[in-house]
Amino acid sequence: MSTKRLLSPLMTGMAMLMLTAGAQAQSEAPFRLIVTHLEPPLVPNSVMDLAETLGYFDAEGVEVELVRVQQTPSALAALQAGEGEMANVGVDALLQIIAGGATDFRAVMSPNTSLPFLIAAKDEIATPGDLVGAVFGVGRVGSLDHALSTLVLDSLGVDIEETEIVTLGQPSVRAQALAAGQVDATTMSIGVWSELPDTSGLHVLVAQDAYFAGAPVVNKVNAVPGNVLAERPEDIAAVIRAITKLSRDFANDPQMWVEAMAQARPDVERDVLEMLAEAFAESWRVNGGMSADDLAYTAAWLYETEDFAGLPRLELDQWVAFGPVDAVLAEIGVDDAMDPADR
Residue 20 is predicted with a pLDDT of 41
Whether the pLDDT of residue 279 is over 60: the answer is yes
For residues 62-89, one letter each, b for 16 or more C-beta atoms within 10 angstroms of the residue's C-beta and e for the rest, the string is bbbebbebeebebbbebbeeeebbbbbb
Residue 307 is predicted with a pLDDT of 86
The string of pLDDT tens digits covering residues 23-75 is 455 667 999 999 999 999 999 999 999 999 999 999 999 999 999 999 999 99
How many C-beta neighbours within 10 Å does residue 227 have? 11
Which of 207, 222, 217, 214 minimizes the C-alpha distance to 293?
A: 217
Residue 139 is predicted with a pLDDT of 93
pTM, rounded to two decimals? 0.85
Q: Where are the domains of the chain?
A: 13-114+218-332, 117-214
Whether the pLDDT of residue 14 is over 90: the answer is no
For residue 321, give Cα distances in angstroms to 33, 161, 240: 18, 38, 13
Whether the pLDDT of residue 1 is over 90: the answer is no
Whether the pLDDT of residue 198 is over 70: the answer is yes
How many C-beta neighbours within 10 Å does residue 23 have? 14
Environment class of 267 (CB within 10 Å of its CB; exposed 0-12, middle 13-18, buried 19+)? exposed
For residue 80, which amino acid is it? Q
Residue 12 is predicted with a pLDDT of 38
Q: Which CATH architecture describes the domain 13-114+218-332? A: 3-Layer(aba) Sandwich (3.40)
How sure is the predictor about 216, in pLDDT bands with cuts at 50, 70 and 90?
Answer: very high
Q: Residue 98, Cα to own-chain centre: how many angstroms?
A: 20
Whether the pLDDT of residue 11 is over 60: the answer is no
* Angle at the Cα of 32 from the Cα atoms of 31 and 36, rounded to 5 degrees: 145
Which CATH superfamily is 117-214 part of? Periplasmic binding protein-like II (3.40.190.10)
Residue 25 is predicted with a pLDDT of 59
How many C-beta neighbours within 10 Å does residue 268 have? 17
CA–CA separation, 148 and 166 (whole Å): 16
Residue 113 is predicted with a pLDDT of 86
